[in-house]
Chains A and B, each alone.
Chain A
Amino acid sequence: EAQVTQNPRYLITVTGKKLTVTCSQNMNHEYMSWYRQDPGLGLRQIYYSMNVEVTDKGDVPEGYKVSRKEKRNFPLILESPSPNQTSLYFCASSAGTGGGQPQHFGDGTRLSIL
């Protein structure tokens, strides 16, 4: 089954404690991206990757890091989380490299930073 898998689904942690949210897709997609969803703001793109070792900033990259060492994986790293990063996070992937192809989304990771 074609899918995008995020882990963990829920996490409560404290300010400053480094955390990583993993994302894996089994569709051999070139394009992967991370979004955060906040009430009334829709989904805002944090980072995206057009292929292995190619990453770029989205609209809200501050406080986040990503890496793309393998095609299937695109982890999101919060080196020093802060309360304003409490949000619902989605990983997505699509064929092609331009971002205009329909993106397949994971089921989300709800992060609470205390």
Chain B
Amino acid sequence: GQQLNQSPQSMFIQEGEDVSMNCTSSSIFNTWLWYKQDPGEGPVLLIALYKAGELTSNGRLTAQFGITRKDSFLNISASIPSDVGIYFCAGHNNAGNMLTFGGGTRLMVKP
């Protein structure tokens, strides 16, 4: 299957800092999705991106669909302790019926 490289794998930051993570692919996607997973729960959708170059915000979160359609990034501004969790990117191309996930970024926030 397709591969999505997500980095970094983990981050340990101080409360109030900004965070940036990204996903890259060797092939083109038409949809990029960003999910957050809290401990003991399933992933929850944060932001969906459907157009190359699109920049979308959801509160302190901002995500962009790369212009080449092979990458996407997620920024979190002014992190707070409840931002702790695993963040996943996921991509979909219209040629198939599957969603491909990155390996996840584990975020830890020190109060």
Contacts and interface: CB of A to CB of B under 8 A. Distances in A.
Interface of A: 4, 31, 33, 35, 40-45, 48, 50, 56, 58-59, 90, 92, 97-100, 102-108
B71 to A, nearest CB: 16
A44 B92 contact: no
B62 interface: no
Contacts of B40: 107-108
B6 A100 contact: no
Contacts, number: 68
A26 to B, nearest CB: 15
A59 B98 contact: yes
Given A42-B88, A43-B90, A102-B48, 11 more contacts: A4-B42, A42-B102, A43-B88, A44-B101, A45-B100, A50-B97, A98-B94, A105-B35, A105-B43, A105-B44, A108-B41
